[in-house]
Amino acid sequence: MQTGLDPRTLGLGIAGLGIWLLLDFASDGLFLSPRNLYNLAVQSSVVGVMASGMVLVITARHIDLSVGSVLAVTGMVIALLQAEGVAGSGLWTWPAAVAVGLVAGAVIGASQGWWVAYRAVPAFVVTLGGLLVFRGAAYLVADGRTVAPLAASFGALGGGVAGSIGETASWWLGVAAIAGFAAVTARARTAERRHGFAPRPRWLDAARVAAVALAVGGFVAVMNAYPRPQSDLGRGIPVPVLIWIASALVVALLFRATRFGRYVSAIGGNPQAAVRAGIDVRRVTLGVFALMGVLAALAAVITTARLGAGTNSMGTLAELNVIAAAVIGGTSLAGGRGSIAGAALGAVLMQSLENGMVLLGASSAVRQIAIGGVLVAAVWVDVASRGRSEAA
Amino acid sequence: MTHLVEMTGVQKSFGGVHAVDGANFHLDAGEVVGLLGHNGAGKSTLMALLAGALPLDAGSIRVDGRPVAIRSPRDARRLGIEALYQDLALADNLPASANLFLGRELTGRFGLLDEAAMERITHEVVHRVNPAFRDFQGPVKSLSGGERQSIAIGRAMHFEARVLILDEPTAALGPAETREVGRLVGRLRDQGLGIVLVSHDLHDVFRLSDRVVVMKAGCIVASRRTEDTHPDEVLEWIIAGAQRDAARGTPVRPESV
Ligand SMILES: Nc1ncnc2c1ncn2[C@@H]1O[C@H](COP(=O)(O)OP(=O)(O)O)[C@@H](O)[C@H]1O
Ligand SMILES: [Mg+2]
C-alpha cells in the first residue's frame, strides 16, 4: 500500500528545515523573521511559477534554457504596453497588457517546441539559441530603455505595499485550503472503496490533513505577523504567492490528472512505447514548451509588477534556479519522473540560499558560486539515487 | 473467401534495404500463424506495417475484405489490431493501469483521468491473464518479463482486439512463463482472435501455431498448415527459401549458406 508520502519530498522538506535553522542562527534571527519570510515567499514565486513548467519539460526528457530570456521579452511587452502603448495605441490597461504577454509567451514557447518536436533539433540547442534570441529581443522591445511607470494597481501583483490580501482574507483562504484538501482526501477514499480497493489507513490520511493544516496555518500566521507600513494590521498572503499556488495547482492537475500529463510521463519513460500507443508525441512536446512559455510570461508579470518597471536584464540566469528547483525537487533529468510539489519546495530552497546569503552579506560573486555548486550537487544526488534504484 | 487480414504486395525499404519486398500475407480469425525467418528477414517490419508503426511504401491491406489505410498505431487499434513488441514496449515509469490504458485512457468529468475505474478494470483483466499478478501500484519497471507481458495481453483482451501480433513474445521470458504465454495464445485463439506469432524458435511455433509462414529477404517464401509439414522442411525454407516463392509464384534461387 502506498503511503502517499514521497520519501524524496519528505527528505527535501527536512533538509530545507535544517538549512532554515542554520541561516537563522547565522543571521541572528533575521532569516526567520516575518518580514524576511514574507520577502522570501514573494521572491520564491518567480522561480516557483516557472519550476512547475520545468518539471513537465524535464519529465518529457527535454530542457528549456530560455526561460529567463522569455521572461525578459514578455515582461518588456507587458511593461511597454502599459507605460507607452505601441504605434500610438495609447496606454493599455494592465489586464490587456498581461493577456498579450501571456499569449506572447505561449507563441514563443510553441515556436521553440515546434523546432524540438517537428524538426528534431535537440531542446538543448533550440533553447540555448532561444536564450540569446529572446534576450536580444527583450533589448529591442524598447531599445534597451527601462520602461516605467506601470499602472498603479498593477503593482499589487508583485507583492509590494498593497500586494497582499490582508489578515482576514488570508485566514479564510487558509481555512478554505485546508477544507479543500480534506474534501479531496475524503473523495479519494470514497472512490477507492466504490471500486473495491482498500483505502489508505484512516490515521495516515488524518495525519496528512493535519500536516497540511499545520503548514497552511503556520504560513498564514507568519504572513499576518508582518505589518503594513505605519500600521498594526498584518499584510497577509502576498498576491504573487497566490498566483504561484494557483498556477502550480493547475499545472499539477494537468500533469497528474489529464491525458496530456499522462502522455508527458509516458514520453519521458519510453518514447517508443508512447508512439506505439498511438500518442501524438510531437503535439504533446509542442504543448509542453508552449505551457513553459506561458509560465515564463506569468513569472514576468510578477517580476515587472515587483520592479514597477520593465528592464531587459530581468530574469538573467533564472533558468539555472528554475532547473535547480525542479531537479532538487526530485525531477529526474533522465526523464519520466517529476514532482510539482517537490519543485515548489526546491524553489523555496534555492531562494532561501540566495536570500540567506544576502542577509549574511555575501557578494553576488559568492552567491553565484554557491548556486552553481548546489545545481551540480542536486543533479549528482539524482544520478546517484537512480544508480542505486537500478541496481536494486 | 475473405480473410480477417490480407496484405497484398506490401513493400518497405529503409534507404537501400528492401526490408519487406512485395510480401503477400493473410490471417484468419481463430488462427495462430507462426511467422518464421532468419534475423533480418523482415518479420518485424512486416508486422510493424500491419500495426501502423511504419507507413507502407507500396501494397495494400484489407481487413474483412475491405481496403483500409493504416497510417498510425491509432488507426490499427481502431481496426482491432494490437501488437506486442519484441522489446515489450511499456512505459517503465508508469504503473500497470497507466500502461494498459496508454493512449486510450478513461476520463470522467472535465476530461480528468478516471484512475479508480482504470485500476479496477486493470485488476480484473490482468488477473484473468495472470492470477499471480500482484504489484498494481508500482512502476512496471520492477516487474518480471511475464508480468509485463500479462499487461500487454490484458490490453489486447480489454480492448477486444481481433488481431494480435506477438513479436518474439518469449524472447525475454523463462521456461515457465513461456509455457504460460503458450496457454494464453491458445485461449485467445479459441475466442476467435487471429494471432501472428513471430519467432525464430521452431519448437515454439510447431507447438502453438495452426499455420507456418516463412519469410526470407523480405518475401513470404512458404505457407503451410503446421500439421502438413515438418521442422526439417521448414528449416530448409528458412535457410534456402522455398522451391517456389509461395507468394508471388516466381522461382527463388537457392542461395549458398
Ligand atoms: N528502422 C529501421 N531502419 C533501417 N533498417 C531497418 C529498420 N528496421 C529494420 N531494418 C532492416 O530491415 C531488415 C528487416 O529487419 P526486421 O524486419 O527487423 O527483420 P526480422 O524481424 O525478421 O529479424 C533488416 O535488414 C534490418 O536491418
Ligand atoms: Mg524482429
Q: Which residue among A195, A257, A269 places its CB closest to the CB of B91? A: A269
Helix pair A34-59, A67-83: axis angle to 10 deg: 120
Does residue B218 have its Cβ closer than 6 Å to ligand 1? no
pLDDT in tens, A228-265: 999 899 999 999 999 999 999 999 999 999 999 999 99
Instruction: Give the per-residue pLDDT at A200.
Output: 84
C-alpha span between A326 and A342 (Å, rounded)? 7
Window 83-122 of B, Cβ < 8 Å to A: 83, 85, 87, 89-94, 98-99, 102-105, 107, 111-113, 115-117, 119-120
Q: Tell me the β-bridge partners of A132.
A: none
Q: How many CB pairs under 8 A join A and B?
A: 82
B20 CA from centroid of ligand 1 (Å): 9
Assess whether A92 and A133 both reside in one domain.
yes
Grid cell listed for B22: 512485395
pLDDT in tens, A328-363: 999 999 999 999 999 999 999 999 999 999 999 999
pLDDT in tens, A92-120: 999 999 999 999 999 999 999 999 999 99
**Residue of minimum CA distance from atom 6 in ligand 1:** B14
In a domain, A25, yes or no: yes
Q: Kindly indicate the confidence band of residue A385, based on its pLDDT and cuts at 50, 70 and 90.
A: confident
Q: What is the mean pLDDT of residues B236-247?
A: 69
Q: How many residues does chain A have?
A: 392
Range of A228's domain? 164-237
A195 to B93: CB separation less than 8 angstroms, yes or no: no
Q: What is the mean pLDDT of residues B118-122?
A: 95
For residue B37, give the nearest of B244, B241, B204, B229 by alpha carbon. B241
Helix (H/G/I), strand (E/B), else coil: B105: coil
A383 CA from centroid of ligand 1 (Å): 34
Q: Kindly indicate the confidence band of residue B245, based on its pLDDT and cuts at 50, 70 and 90.
A: very low
Disruptive mutation site among A254, A262, A275 for chain B (greatest number of B CBs within 10 Å): A262
Q: DSSP class of residue A228?
A: P
Is the model more confident about B54 or about B241?
Answer: B54
Is the model more confident about A221 or about B173?
Answer: A221
- Stretch(es) of chain B classified as CATH 3.40.50.300: 5-80+162-252
pLDDT in tens, A178-219: 999 999 999 989 888 888 888 888 999 999 999 999 999 999
B39 CA from centroid of ligand 2 (Å): 6
Q: What is the mean pLDDT of residues B41-64?
A: 95
C-alpha span between A384 and A194 (Å, rounded)? 41
Residue type for B80, please? G
In a domain, A101, yes or no: yes
C-alpha span between B149 and B129 (Å, rounded)? 9
Assess whether A252 and A119 both reside in one domain.
yes
Residues of A in contact with B50 (CB under 8 A): none
Assess whether A151 and A175 both reside in one domain.
no
Q: Measure the CA angle with vertex A10, ends B113 and A206; round to 5°.
A: 65
CA-derived radius of gyration, chain B:
19
Q: Which residue among A192, A270, A337 places its CB closest to the CB of B89? A: A270
Class of domain B5-80+162-252: alpha beta
- For residue A23, what are the contacts with CB-CB under 8 A and spacing of at least 6? A31, A352, A356, A359, A360
Element (H, E) at B159: none
Q: What is the mean pLDDT of residues B160-165?
A: 95
The burial class, CB within 10 Å (0-12 / 13-18 / 19+), for A353 is buried
In a domain, A53, yes or no: yes
Does residue B42 have its Cβ closer than 6 Å to ligand 1? yes
Domain boundary among A204, A237, A270: A237
Helix (H/G/I), strand (E/B), else coil: B68: strand
Instruction: Give the per-residue pLDDT at B250.
Output: 47
Ligand that lies nearest to the alpha carbon of residue B45, given by its number in the listed order:
1
Average pLDDT, chain A: 93
Q: Kindly indicate the confidence band of residue A388, based on its pLDDT and cuts at 50, 70 and 90.
A: low
The answer to whether the beta carbons of residues B112 and A257 sit under 8 Å apart is yes
Q: Kindly indicate the confidence band of residue B253, based on its pLDDT and cuts at 50, 70 and 90.
A: very low
Assess whether A191 and A317 both reside in one domain.
no
Residue B70 vs residues A282, B74, B193: alpha-carbon distances, Å: 19, 8, 19
pLDDT in tens, A127-176: 999 999 999 999 999 999 999 999 989 999 999 888 999 999 999 999 99
In a domain, A1, yes or no: no
**pTM of the model as a whole:** 0.91
Using the atom order of ligand 1, give the atom closest to the CA of residue B41.
22
Counting the structural domains of chain A, the total is 2
Q: ipTM greater than 0.85, yes or no?
A: yes
Assess whether A254 and A379 both reside in one domain.
yes
Assess whether A153 and A168 both reside in one domain.
no
Is the model more confident about A359 or about A4?
Answer: A359
Q: Kindly indicate the confidence band of residue A5, based on its pLDDT and cuts at 50, 70 and 90.
A: low
Disruptive mutation site among B93, B114, B120, B124 for chain A (greatest number of A CBs within 10 Å): B93
Using the atom order of ligand 1, give the atom closest to the CA of residue B20.
14
B40 CA from centroid of ligand 2 (Å): 7
pLDDT in tens, A308-335: 999 999 999 999 999 999 999 999 999 9
